[in-house]
Amino acid sequence: MGVILRRGRLVARTAQGEALARATALRARCFVDLGGALRDADGHDARARHLLVEDAAGRALCTLRWRVLAPGEVGLAASAESYDLGPLAARPVRSMEIGRFCTAPEARDGEALRLALGALTRLVLRERVELLFGCASFPGTDPRPHRAALAWLGARHVAPVGLRPGRRGKAETFDLAGTAGAPHAAPAGLPPLLRSYLGMGAVVSDHAVVDRVMNTIHVLCMLDVAAIPAARARALRALAFGP
């Protein structure tokens, strides 16, 4: 297992074997009610690489999976099961899909998330990635508790036509535009990870998907690496390499 980044008592490493089992167990805790099942796994795991943040006691605190894709491979992404990625595939850039990004409830101080973002920054630079994308999720499948945050997204952060997924396939969806006029639209209810992406300049799909398997509502989130504001890029490099 290769160490990507170490800070104090925490380490971010690539996960295989027993470490991957700990990562998928954390995913099950964070995302799904599997009726007592101990792991969350799907057919994309074998084609992806996995990152795990642990403390000195070996507790899994944060995890994600990633896959670097050439333009002609974008249709193989896990996100393609819920979104039409044709507009992304048409762009001649090297992209990275990020998925199953989650943090343990007991890691609320943000330290594990910051280490994961620093490690991810190292990976993006190493792999010369130009575009990041993946599903960013809200907990649960009822949109009503998230109405204000979804309305705020729909009013301010929907992707331009050139990036917007088109065909919706068989997914259970609803338009963000339909929530944009909701009273008291506000970002307060945004998940921390999605808030971080938006702060880097990310945009989202024009619709959300209700995922009853993962017990989430998600939007497709897309980030051009070159569009990250200079101050935020410096902060990410500090997380990855130190001040």
For residue 190, the domain's CATH number is 3.40.630.30
Q: Running along the chain, 243 residues long, what does each successive block of 10 average in pLDDT? A: 90 95 93 69 95 95 97 92 88 95 90 95 96 94 91 88 58 75 74 92 92 90 95 95 81
Element (H, E) at 137: strand 131-139
Q: What does the alpha-carbon distance between residue 205 and residue 198 come to, in Å, rounded to a whole number?
A: 13
**Predicted pLDDT at 32:** 74
Domain that holds residue 90: 3-241
**Predicted pLDDT at 23:** 95
Q: Name the β-bridge partners of 99.
A: 65
**Predicted pLDDT at 156:** 87
Helix (H, G, I), strand (E, B) or coil at 67: strand
Q: Which DSSP symbol is given to 228?
A: S
Closest by Cα among 131, 132, 125, 66 to 93: 131
Total count of domains within the chain: 1
Contact (CB, 8 A) for 134 and 221: yes
**Predicted pLDDT at 166:** 55
Amino acid at 223: L
**Predicted pLDDT at 213:** 84
